Amino acid sequence: NGSAPHVASPPLVRKKLMGYVGFANLPNQVHRKSVRKGFQFTAMVVGESGLGKSTLINTLFNTELYQPKEVLPPSAERPKTVAIESISADIEENGVRLRLTVVDTPGFGDFVNNEESWKPIVEDIESRFDSYLEQENRVNRQKIVDNRVHACLYFIQPTGHSLRPIDIEFMRRLHTKVNLIPIIAKADTMTDEEIINFKDRILNDIRHHNIHIFQLPTYENEDEEALTEQEEIARKIPFAIVGSNQLVHTPDGRQVRGRAYPWGVIEVDNEDHCDFVKLRQMLIRTSMEELREHTTAVLYENYRSEKLLGMGVAQDSSVFKEINPALKMQEERTLHEAKLAKMEAEMNLVFQQKVAEKEGKLKQSEEELYARHREMKEALEKQRLELEDKKRRIESGRPLTPEKSATKRNRFLRT
Ligand code: GDP
């Protein structure tokens, strides 16, 4: 009946082991293998210049990965479009290697007209998907380089109002293509209460515009501790961030990463001061793998199937036809009919050409006949006139000139 052969799963029997077998070591095998291969992670930062993007990346990975950008004098020639720049670094912690790539988008939101600031960013993210898709479709897929963006940190200006049109437009355009992580930049410029209210407004706007920001997934079999940790992280979104790689002294004599103000020190790594620790926990300690997985399984997968469908590839239909002879016969019949129709059309065309050719020829000979007829008629008319002239002369008694009459007679005899 054309349905796929059903493979019955074997009956499941639960058995107790009599002794040590060794598969409890499987997770360790996976662990060793992935440590050997190393990890890849690509983060994108988006936001107006001066919001602390480079500072935050350096703070997150505790390196001077990012050189602060040269501040251009007001007279300098500035680029007119959003640029895409990326830098990679291999960093290592306890023998685990991570190739970190940061994609920066200088120019975003920096122009008088920022209407299409999101466009080059969408194009960049899509071209990374395209490059992955192209590699997947190669004959040799041994060495696929994954340049897809796994997380996008979107920096919101600490205005205390609500999201601006440019923020909403950007998130709406990007939320189906990248894991969005909203961040309130330079949170040390706002009071605790202002931050709480600002976060509420941002979340309302995000809900109102149906924007999906990255959410930590919760699994049923997760332990209590991990669940609480995830809930605490989720409660902090959008993260209010203070960035700094500078070491400063606190009044009680500690040396911390932070920003020193006349009224005190703001510590980056102090959870009472900002959400930096929670952001780092999510981005690096607990959910880097989730971000990568969500990119592959949901965001890339959607892009891929839309793209292939757009190209007219109906992925599974060929397999379906293999197991469905009726469908195959139907397709062959359609092909055959199309072939017949094409032949008929070709024959018709040849026939019409021949008819047109014949008609052309007939018309031509008809015209020739007419022309001959006209010529003969004219010659006869001329003769008639001459004869009449001759008759008139004879009747009036005027003799014809011998030479003229001879010529005329001759011509008359010839015709
Ligand atoms: P980018 O243009 O977005 O990469 O911004 P930078 O990281 O170059 O930072 C611009 C300026 O803001 C620098 O002077 C930083 O020291 C400062 N800055 C960075 N992060 C913070 C922050 O969290 N709070 C405050 N108050 N200033 C910051």
- Tens of pLDDT, residue by residue over 163-211, are 999 999 999 999 999 999 999 999 999 999 999 999 999 999 999 999 9
Confidence class of residue 415 from pLDDT cuts 50, 70 and 90?
Answer: very low
Q: What's the 52 CA to ligand 1 centre distance in angstroms?
A: 3
Does 69 sit in the ligand 1 pocket, CB within 6 Å? yes
For residue 93, which of 39, 161, 16 has the smallest C-alpha distance? 39
- Tokens 């015709």 sit on residue: 415
Using the predicted structure, report yes or no on whether residue 214 has a pLDDT greater than 70: yes
Residues written for the chain: 415
> What is the spatial distance between Cα 56 and Cα 50, in angstroms, rounded to a whole number?
11
Residue 371: strand, helix, or coil: helix
Does 55 sit in the ligand 1 pocket, CB within 6 Å? yes
Using the predicted structure, report yes or no on whether residue 90 has a pLDDT greater than 90: no
Ligand 1 atom 17: residue of nearest CA: 52
Q: What ranges in 185-271 are assigned the alpha helix state H?
A: 192-208, 224-236
Cα torsion angle, 27, 31, 33, 39, sign: positive
Q: What's the 103 CA to ligand 1 centre distance in angstroms?
A: 17
Ligand 1 atom 25: residue of nearest CA: 186
Does 167 sit in the ligand 1 pocket, CB within 6 Å? no
- Tens of pLDDT, residue by residue over 297-336, are 999 999 998 888 877 766 555 554 555 667 677 778 888 8
Tell me what the mean pLDDT of segment 253-272 comes to: 90
Percentage of the chain beyond pLDDT 90 is 40
ipTM rounded to 2 decimals:
0.97
Ligand 1 atom closest to the Cα of residue 244 is 20
> What is the spatial distance between Cα 130 and Cα 304, in angstroms, rounded to a whole number?
8
Q: What ranges in 62-136 are assigned the alpha helix state H?
A: 118-136
Q: What's the 20 CA to ligand 1 centre distance in angstroms?
A: 56
Confidence class of residue 414 from pLDDT cuts 50, 70 and 90?
Answer: low
Identify whether 11 is preceded by a cis peptide bond (ω within 30 of 0).
no
Does 53 sit in the ligand 1 pocket, CB within 6 Å? yes
Predicted model pTM: 0.71
Does 54 sit in the ligand 1 pocket, CB within 6 Å? yes
- Tell me how crowded residue 110 is: count the other CB atoms within 10 A of its CB: 15
What DSSP element (H or E) covers 249?
strand 247-249
Does 52 sit in the ligand 1 pocket, CB within 6 Å? yes
Ligand 1 atom closest to the Cα of residue 47 is 3
Query: Which two three-digit tokens encode residue 53?
Result: 């993007």
Phi first, then psi, for residue 10 (nearest 5°) are: -65, 150
Does 71 sit in the ligand 1 pocket, CB within 6 Å? no
> What is the spatial distance between Cα 255 and Cα 242, in angstroms, rounded to a whole number?
17
Does 377 sit in the ligand 1 pocket, CB within 6 Å? no
pLDDT of residue 5: 56
Residue 256: strand, helix, or coil: strand
pLDDT of residue 2: 46
Ligand 1 atom closest to the Cα of residue 189 is 26
Level-2 CATH architecture, domain 24-314: 3-Layer(aba) Sandwich (3.40)
